[in-house]
């Protein structure tokens, strides 16, 4: 009697295998449905069913197994894995674990908790929690907007997400700046896959776990698309936002500068809560006035403004 090493290996895999197979071998939603039908009818695992109907080869399964095993970190259950398990329990958003990243040197809240800036960030977190608690059930999503580039918006978004996660609350940081994204650089991550592919092609959300912060996950932007505003204004982004509200305690969204692009207005309308960021001695009064005027046309609530001196 011969032993099939592929089948034996498949049975040992963890829950990440199906998500990695879908993304790595670019299985469509129709492919996934065919696989799941075969799983039900033939009582096979996801990989076995995909192989049975010819959507992946044995060599591809072995390569995926090795990829997952090589990158499986020894850690406690992260918010990424919680999201994956929720999807398997019947929620419609599909995610995959994209690996672990770590906070870079600029994110002092994660690296140097005694730094004077950290106390100011905790104070901002407290003020936001008070504002959000009074704002009803749409209050757990915050979009950070700024008038111009280089005003510290991206770094503040990352630090604010870290601050929420340090409370033990499941937090998602989304880089929705599809023009000049920065979150991947702040967390020393690659940016080959991200929000762009999910919006454009319906790919599973590639969420990164964060070293030392088990309650934080990161969704990078992915490659710069040719039509960022159209992607962010599409109904899929709206659906993702609704799902994030249910799956995470807090969602922090980084956006492009508003004086150059209208993307932030589309995001703010869906987010509901907006935190305005400007830099001392850099942001002009005219730019701030223009930002506030344009935000007034959305349904977003301005939670406050941060004068950045760093």
Final residue before a domain boundary, out of 55, 72, 89: 72
- Pick the more confident residue, 65 or 79: 65
Cβ atoms within 10 Å, residue 1: 2
Is there a single domain that holds both residue 57 and residue 152?
A: no
Helix axes 235-247, 263-271, angle to 10 degrees: 40
Is there a single domain that holds both residue 150 and residue 289?
A: yes
Final residue before a domain boundary, out of 72, 95, 130: 72
Give pLDDT tens digits for 169-226: 899 999 999 999 999 999 999 888 899 988 888 877 889 999 999 999 999 999 888 8
For 39-168, strand residue ranges (E) read: 95-101, 141-145
Distance of alpha carbon 20 from alpha carbon 70, whole angstroms: 13
Distance of alpha carbon 147 from alpha carbon 78, whole angstroms: 34
Is there a single domain that holds both residue 136 and residue 32?
A: no
Domain membership flag for residue 82: no
Is there a single domain that holds both residue 52 and residue 183?
A: no
Is there a single domain that holds both residue 124 and residue 43?
A: no
Sheet holding 95-101, edge to edge: 95-101, 205-210, 213-219, 171-175, 250-254, 141-145, 273-279, 301-308
Q: What is the pTM of this model?
A: 0.71
DSSP state of 203: P
Q: Exposure string (b/e) for 166-193, b if CB count within 10 Å is 16 or more?
A: beebbbbbbbbbbbebbbbebbebebeb
Domain membership flag for residue 99: no
Strand partners, 175: 254
Distance of alpha carbon 248 from alpha carbon 73, whole angstroms: 22
- Report the mean per-residue pLDDT for the chain: 81
Is there a single domain that holds both residue 63 and residue 135?
A: no
Domain membership flag for residue 169: yes
- Pick the more confident residue, 15 or 172: 172
Domain membership flag for residue 97: no
Is there a single domain that holds both residue 52 and residue 197?
A: no
Is there a single domain that holds both residue 129 and residue 259?
A: yes
Distance of alpha carbon 38 from alpha carbon 50, whole angstroms: 8
Give pLDDT tens digits for 271-304: 888 999 988 878 888 888 888 888 888 878 889 8
Distance of alpha carbon 239 from alpha carbon 228, whole angstroms: 17
Is there a single domain that holds both residue 195 and residue 291?
A: yes
Is there a single domain that holds both residue 159 and residue 67?
A: no
Is there a single domain that holds both residue 120 and residue 217?
A: yes
Distance of alpha carbon 38 from alpha carbon 54, whole angstroms: 12
Please report, for the domain that includes residue 218, its CATH number. 3.40.50.300
Could you tell me the residue range of the domain that residue 39 belongs to?
5-72
Percent of the chain with pLDDT over 90: 31
Domain membership flag for residue 79: no
What's the distance, CA 47 to chain centroid? 26
Reduced 3-state DSSP string for 213-230: EEEEEEECCCCCCCCHHH
Q: Exposure string (b/e) for 48-65, b if CB count within 10 Å is 16 or more?
A: bbbbeeebbeeebbeebb
Domain membership flag for residue 193: yes
Give pLDDT tens digits for 231-256: 998 888 999 998 898 889 999 999 99
Cβ atoms within 10 Å, residue 300: 20
Domain membership flag for residue 88: no
Residue 86 phi/psi, 5-degree rounding, is -65, -40
Domain membership flag for residue 94: no
How far CA 4 is from CA of 10, 11, 33, 201, 236, in Å, comes to: 10, 11, 25, 34, 41
How many folded domains does the chain comprise?
A: 2
Is there a single domain that holds both residue 118 and residue 259?
A: yes
3-state secondary structure of 82: helix
Q: Exposed, middle or buried: residue 143 (CB in 10 Å: 0-12, 13-18, 19+)?
A: buried
Q: Exposed, middle or buried: residue 87 (CB in 10 Å: 0-12, 13-18, 19+)?
A: buried
Q: Does residue 104 surpass a pLDDT of 80?
A: yes
Q: How does residue 132 score in pLDDT terms, banded at 50, 70 and 90?
A: confident
């Amino acid at each position: 009697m011969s032993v099939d090493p592929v089948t034996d290996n498949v049975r040992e895999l963890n829950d990440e295998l199906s998500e990695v197979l879908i993304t790595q071998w670019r299985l469509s939603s129709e492919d996934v449905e065919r696989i799941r039908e075969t799983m039900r009818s033939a009582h096979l695992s996801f990989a076995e069913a995909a192989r049975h109907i010819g959507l992946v080869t044995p060599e591809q399964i072995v390569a995926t197994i090795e990829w997952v095993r090589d990158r499986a970190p020894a850690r406690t259950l992260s918010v990424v894995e919680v999201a994956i398990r929720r999807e398997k329990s019947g929620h419609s958003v599909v995610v995959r674990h994209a690996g672990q990243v770590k906070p870079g040197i600029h994110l002092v809240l994660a690296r140097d908790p005694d730094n004077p800036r950290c106390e100011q960030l905790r104070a901002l977190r407290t003020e936001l929690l008070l504002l959000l608690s009074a704002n009803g059930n749409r209050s757990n999503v915050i979009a950070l907007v700024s008038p111009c580039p280089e005003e510290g918006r991206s770094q503040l978004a990352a630090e604010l997400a870290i601050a929420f996660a340090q409370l033990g609350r499941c937090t998602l940081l989304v880089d929705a700046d599809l023009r000049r994204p920065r979150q991947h650089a702040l967390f020393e991550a690659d940016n080959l896959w991200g929000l762009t592919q999910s919006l454009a092609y319906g790919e599973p959300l590639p969420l990164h776990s964060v070293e030392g912060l088990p309650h934080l996950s990161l969704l990078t932007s992915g490659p710069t698309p040719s039509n960022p505003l159209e992607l962010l204004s599409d109904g899929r982004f709206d659906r993702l936002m609704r799902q994030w509200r249910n799956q995470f305690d807090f969602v922090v969204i980084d956006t492009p500068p508003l004086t150059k692009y209208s993307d932030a207005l589309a995001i703010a309308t869906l987010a509901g809560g907006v935190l305005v960021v400007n830099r001392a001695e850099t942001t002009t009064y005219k730019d701030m006035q223009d930002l506030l005027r344009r935000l007034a046309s959305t349904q977003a609530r301005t939670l406050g403004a941060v004068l950045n001196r760093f």
